[in-house]
Structure 1
Amino acid sequence: MAFHITQGNPIPQVLQPGANASFAIEVYVDGNPVGPGEIIQVKLPDGLVFPPTGEIRYMNLDSGINRPLPIESRDPDGRLVRFKAEAIGNKPEGFYSVNVQALPNAAPGDRTVTDGLTIGATAAKLSFRVGAAQPVEQRVYGIVGADGAVVVGSGFTVKLTPNSTSTSIFTITFAKPFTTAPVVVATATQASPSVSVTIGGVTPNTVTICTASPVGTWKPLPFHFIAMGPAQP
């Protein structure tokens, strides 16, 4: 009697740092079918764990079966977990779905454990890939006073720099840079159709904003702004 155990597609299973997913395990046996109770051991590579609240489920979609299975044991670090198999036939009948989580600080790269899956004397490899962390949307917004003070908001600093032609330039520096230049919108707090607020330039780290008075002269004025774009999580 020889067991066969394999990881289901996709191989490798791809996760982002901090993400949760499930991977499939298929099992069958040569010779006579085996009743339920054989122990399946899952050994995860460094940087991945079976979550404390994770589930292992037996699923046979053709038969409408989708049920959780008891966890026989889980090592404290979450990398080793064991459970009892259902009855095992001469071909894969259904599959096991096992939760897995990539740690938030898991470095990108491929990870393979040669004996990641074990049943009886049979072992098989288990393969994962941790992808680079995907950017998330960042929003930085606030109200800036005519003197360059931050009236409302956080995550940025402001420097007011009048130049030789009396053009008032507010330079806003983001505490956490964007990955690319964000979209920036700014409006003056004064209710006048002739007040001017101009976006002078935008980088992932800073934005410059210039203001002008209702009579058309450059003058420091209070304004609202919001910057939106991708940033590292």
Structure 2
Amino acid sequence: MAFHITQGNPTPLILQPGANASFTIEVYVDGNPVGPGEIIQVKLPEGLVFPPTGEIRFINLDSGVNRPLPIESRDPDGRLVRFKAEGIGNKPEGFYSVNVLAAPTAAPGDRTVTDGLTIGATSAKLSFRVSAPQPVERRVYGTIGANANIISGSGFTAVWGGTSTFTITFTRPFTSPPVVVATAAQGSATAIVTVASVSTTTAVIYTASTSGTWGRLPFHFIAMGLAAPQV
């Protein structure tokens, strides 16, 4: 009697840092079918864990079965988990779905454990790929006074550079220069607020007084763009 155990597609399973997903396992046996109760062991690579609230499910689409299975054991670090298999036939009859969580700090790259799956004396590899974190949309906005004091908003600092120049520094940089819009905080047909330059870390704003002379003026602004996700 020899068991066969494999990781289902997709292989490798791709996750972003901090993401939770599921991979599948298929099992069958040469010779006579085996009743329920064989222990399947899952060993995960560094940076991935079976979460404390994770599930292992047995699914058979042909029979309409989709049920959770009890966890026999889980190591404290979450990288080794064991559960009992359902009955095993001479061909895959359904499959197992196992939760996996990539640590928020997991470095991008491929991870393979040669004995990631074990049943009886048979082992097979488990393969994962941690992808680079994808940028997320970020908005920074607020109101800045004539003395560069922050009247409202967060995620930035402001400095007056003389005459009509204000420099806004974002406390967390964008991955590319954001779109910045600024308007005067006091109504006037002749008030001027100009976005002079924008980078991933700063925005420079010029303001003009209500008489049309360049000078300090309170203003509102909003910066919208992509930033790396916070860990």
Matched residue, 1:194: 190
Q: Which amino acid aligns with 1:225?
A: F
Structure 2 Cα separation of the partners of residues 130 and 189 of structure 1: 46
Matched residue, 2:50: 50
Matched residue, 2:7: 7
User: What is the CA deviation profile of residues 176-218 of structure 1, one whole-angstrom value per residue up to 9, with x for unaligned ones?
Assistant: 1111000111111111222111100000010011111232211
Alpha carbon RMSD of aligned pairs, Å?
Answer: 0.9
Structure 2 Cα separation of the partners of residues 228 and 53 of structure 1: 36
1:86 Cα offset (Å): 0.5
The alignment's TM-score, normalised by the length of structure 1, stands at 0.96
Unaligned runs of 5+ in 1: none
Structure 1 Cα separation of the partners of residues 158 and 69 of structure 2: 57
Structure 1 Cα separation of the partners of residues 72 and 136 of structure 2: 38
Matched residue, 1:92: 92
1:119 Cα offset (Å): 0.3
* 1:164-183 correspondence to structure 2 within 5 Å: 166=163, 168-183=164-179
The alignment's TM-score, normalised by the length of structure 2, stands at 0.97
Unaligned runs of 5+ in 2: none
1:153 Cα offset (Å): 1.6
Indicate yes or no: 2:99 matched with 1:103.
Answer: no
Matched residue, 2:217: 221
Aligned structure 1 segments of 4 or more residues deviating by more than 2 angstroms: none
Matched residue, 2:159: 159
Q: Which amino acid aligns with 1:224?
A: H
Structure 2 Cα separation of the partners of residues 197 and 92 of structure 1: 68
Matched residue, 1:145: 145
2:62 partner SS? helix
User: What is the CA deviation profile of residues 112-133 of structure 1, one whole-angstrom value per residue up to 9, with x for unaligned ones?
Assistant: 0000000000000000011111
Aligned residues: 229
Indicate yes or no: 2:62 matched with 1:62.
Answer: yes
Q: Which amino acid aligns with 1:213?
A: S
Structure 1 Cα separation of the partners of residues 215 and 60 of structure 2: 72
Indicate yes or no: 2:195 matched with 1:207.
Answer: no
Task: State, as a whole percentage, how many aligned pairs show the same letter.
Answer: 76
